[in-house]
Structure 1
Amino acid sequence: MRDLTRRIGAATPADRDRAVDALRALAIGGVVAGHWLVTALVVDSGTVRVASPLRHLPQLAPSSWMFQTLAVFFLVGGWTGARGHAAARARGRTYGQWLGGRMARLSRPVAAVLVVWVLVAVALLASGAGLETVRMLVKLVYSPLWFLLVFAALTAVTPLVAKLHPLWPFAVVALVDLVRYGLGGPAWLGWINLVAGWLVPYCLGAAWGRGRLRGGATGWAMLLGGAAATAALVGWGGYPAAMVGVPGAAISNLNPPTLAAVTFGVAQCGAALLLAGPLRRALRRPAAWAVVAAVNLSAMTIFLWHQTAMIAVTALGLVADAPVPGLHTVPGTLGWLLARLAWLPAFLLALLVCVTAFGVYEHGRPVRERRPAQELEVWRA
């Protein structure tokens, strides 16, 4: 293992910004941990339904701020898109060739999870599972795909938005929320923010990739200003404290993104800029870099299959005679949360099985046959 970590470090290009890879890994980890902690599958009269501890324990809403890391993912996406497109042009590649390569990496693993879950749904229905249970499970797996649709759309317009100032989409989000919540406008206007809201961190990432955005004073201004604006919007603007969706809530900060979600994302982007320097220093250690490289190599597979891993462990728990705490019980107490934390290693083990089985669709060959440092260069294509 020590020899492998040294070889990965030695084979990594000297000019690769390892901090960007670390931020991508942290963003993926936040999404996975957040879903595992705020999503409960409750068995009720033979039907499985989704519940959230944030609905039963609203005092835990601020904890969602730790796990809603999508803005960091879009920040890294903007950095990668701007740098990758510029590098492709320098090598004489056309826009179509560059975009085709990036879309292929997104589409292959998505196709795999779609096909597998169609087969699973058919098998469950054939075995007598209730239609509502199957619908809920499929929705749980497929619902995160909205993120990839938005990410793909922003990637496709990278040459157009790479030079766009993030204040423009920020102003669009503010105007949409003003019309929706302040002037009683139609709710459908909020879906404009699905693009405009995530375009803010994407534009920040593009500016970072082009060398026009750095840490220091800018990072602190974004962190403190975004945090203060978010606190004001939650405290006095009527926005919910939870930065993730809560079943039954009148307003969701995430679906579609609200102004509070965007200001929170700006704060996260500022923190990411400030962390970049320390991360670069920490990742000089071969072992630390090897872990980050491993997560990045399977980033899409981890994102697409983490809900399946949770469902698989929960389904195995159904063999017990009674509902298992932390798996099938109502998430209404702190005891449930402690029990769920104890189940996280099992979820992680199931996810590793999924990555081993389906990681081939992300890179075209099995995990054991990959050459990590070389394949990381896919993000520059």
Structure 2
Amino acid sequence: MTDPYASAGVDTEAGDRAVELMKAAVSRTHGPGVLGGVGGFAGLFDLSAVGSYAHPLLATSTDGVGTKIALAQAIDKHDTIGQDLVGMVVDDIVVVGAKPLFMTDYIATGRLVPERIADIVRGIAEACEATGTALVGGETAEHPGVMDPDDYDVAGAAVGVVEADAVLGAERVRTGDVVVAMASSGLHSNGFSLVRHILAERGLALTDRVDDLGGVAAEVLLEPTRLYTLPLLEMLGAGLGIRSISHVTGGGIAVNLARVLPPHTAVEIDRALWQVPQVFGALAQLGGFPLTEAEGTWNLGLGMLVVAPADDAADVIARSERAGIPAWTVGSVQPVPDDTAGWVQGAKGVAGGAVRLTGSYR
């Protein structure tokens, strides 16, 4: 018998094959808190499995990976996009001091190719496993006639838990605290519309070898987002007096740091304190603009910014580096100056502190 849904371009059997291909990877993320297996209408998580909390608060975050997907599609490589998604979602959970519990994902595609969907979800599951997060459910939707056959988009949401009196935030920050940078692995998942614009303006395709980048553009630029969750949770579990954490994502360095500082404080960051990774300089050169013009778009090598008491800064750096993430001090918290012209103050609806980058990159 002919399936009328298949004649409309929706292959339900392909969806079932995709689930079978991803099932093992997803199951590896399940701990004692997960009830049921893969394939339910909703994921169930037993909160009693997280232990005893006096006043538990749930933290939640949702995000996607933006137009970085275009690079994966250009070279038909889809096994790293999942890590990008987890990095963008789960690492927003830990910045408030929360331990991530579980995550769900959503993939929309023009045509369901089981192997492609399985690659994406395996990447999500492996990154969830690496951050101690259970992947408890997801949805794959086929949108023929709305999306091109080989087009897709991914999004996800996660939930974590934190003790009420342990929530990190700007209100904890004090004058004299130190800002420690934890290195990024590259562009992470922000600013790829600018990247594609730069390449297009130079007449370069994502599949071209670009000597300035050191390889095929898409292959180099698909470097997955670094995961910070476990190193940061380890620092918090060790009792370091971390005040606030900024995940340097869309908006760049100053904007994201300002969000986790109180309004009466300021941080001045010297650009000469770190070596900007080569990929950023190469892209800026191709685009014909200085790196300073990309500060509001790219992370320029700073993935996380940790605000901590000066006495704890060396320990933050040491623990980050033991986890394989270079770290260094980039500034200290001072009273806000009388004249804030040229400073970034607050962002995204938050009346935060003031941040200014000075000097020249090296």
Q: TM-score w.r.t. structure 2 length?
A: 0.23
Q: TM-score w.r.t. structure 1 length?
A: 0.23
**More helix, by proportion:** 1
